Structure 1
Amino acid sequence: MSNTFTTTSSPTASSVYASPLSPFKKQKMSITQTYYLAHKARAKLSHEAAMPDHNLRLLVGHANLLDSLMLELADAEREQESWFNNSVRSASQTEKQTSSPLSNESRHIQWADSIPEEEEEDEDDYDSSSDD
């Protein structure tokens, strides 16, 4: 089972190979482009599978393309998850290094049992100063 596909528009245009045995470098697509292409491949595969007279070449081609795209997406998601975990780990390590027992105690919130009420004279002073 080969994962090779080519696209050419002219004899001088470069070919895109998805085969791991290919001597050419594979062009890197964004994750969005890969999802879009996988969506299209899945739609074409579904369409071809629904046909009463299957074109086996198209059916296998779309299935192989979809398979390789799904593998690329899984790799990209693993890479993103690894990057996210590393960034969270490094952020938590820097937070642990910068925090001290004193700063943790200063962050402690003590709830008041009652709310102290202010005198009414303060409100009157504020109202007279705002009339200016």
Structure 2
Amino acid sequence: MVKKPQRSIEEIFREDNRYPLEAVQFVREGLNHAVAKFHRQGAQTGTVRHVSGAQLCAGLRELALKRWGLMARSVLAKWNIKRTRDFGEIVFLLVENGWMQKEPQDRIEDFEDVYDFQKAFQRGFEMSPDS
């Protein structure tokens, strides 16, 4: 049974007070990006497709780098997102309040240490001596 939202996202995150609404919006956009990346056909037909915590984190990393480049880690840190677990905290708060769905096997631990933020947001931007 799908849980119906009882409170607005604004109310939920204002009360929780860990992450601003911009962070929540980014995670929701990142979910769409990850679904499109990992389930191209399903995304085009509107079929609901599940992505794992690791896939969502990968999609969020890609989207952040695309939007903000070298500033991605700084933007996320401003929103109090400093590790992949923070993405999971946002997702599970949305799940608990009926704004997202999860599969029975999904756990918050799926978001633990998916990648190191410092390394993940530098990769692709490091210059070699030959550059």
TM over 0.5: no
TM-score, reference length from structure 1: 0.25
Larger radius of gyration: 1
Which structure ranks higher in relative contact order (CA pairs < 8 Å, sequence separation ≥ 6)?
2
TM-score, reference length from structure 2: 0.25
